[in-house]
Structure 1
Amino acid sequence: MTPAFELAEVNIARLKFPLDSPQLKDFVDALDPVNADADSADGFVWRLQSEGGDATDIPVLGDEWLIINMSVWRDTNSLTAYMYQGRHREMLARRREWFEKVQEAMLAMWWVPAGHRPTVAEAEARLLHLRTNGPTPYAFTLRTSFPPGASQPVLGEVPEGLGCSV
Structure 2
Amino acid sequence: MEKWELAQVNIARLIEPLESDRIADFVANLGPVNAEADQAPGFIWRLQTEDGDATSISAFEWDVHDTAGVIVNLSKWESIEALKEFMYSGKHVEMMKRRFEWFHKVAEATTALWWVPAGHIPTTDEAEQKVQHLREHGPTPEAFTLRKVFNSTGQQL
TM-score normalised over the length of structure 2: 0.92
Query: What SS does the corresponding residue of 2:10 show, helix, strand or coil?
Result: strand
Unaligned residue ranges in structure 1 (runs of 5+): 152-166
Of 142, 149, 152, the match for 1:145: 149
Equivalent position amino acid for 2:103 in 1: F
- Structure 1 segment 41-60 matched on structure 2, within 5 A: 41-60=40-59
Tell me the distance in 1 between the aligned counterparts of 2:102 and 2:142: 30
Assess if the C-alpha contact under 8 Å between 1:6 and 1:114 holds in 2: yes
Q: CA RMSD in A?
A: 1.5
Query: What SS does the corresponding residue of 2:145 show, helix, strand or coil?
Result: coil
Query: What SS does the corresponding residue of 1:138 show, helix, strand or coil?
Result: coil
TM-score normalised over the length of structure 1: 0.87
1:122 aligns with 2:126: yes
Q: Which residue of 1 aligns with 2:90?
A: 86
What whole-Å deviation, never above 9, does each CA across 1:76-102 have from its counterpart, x for those lacking one? 000000000010000001000000001
Q: Which residue of 1 aligns with 2:12?
A: 13
Tell me the distance in 2 between the aligned counterparts of 1:86 and 1:55: 20
1:57 deviates by 1.0
1:104 deviates by 0.3
Q: Number of residue pairs matched? A: 150
Percent identical pairs in the alignment equals 54
Tell me the distance in 2 between the aligned counterparts of 1:19 and 1:51: 19
What whole-Å deviation, never above 9, does each CA across 1:12-44 have from its counterpart, x for those lacking one? 000001100000111000001100000000000
Tell me the distance in 2 between the aligned counterparts of 1:65 and 1:96: 15
Assess if the C-alpha contact under 8 Å between 1:6 and 1:72 holds in 2: yes
Q: Which residue of 1 aligns with 2:34?
A: 35
What whole-Å deviation, never above 9, does each CA across 1:133-165 have from its counterpart, x for those lacking one? 0000000000001011329xxxxxxxxxxxxxx
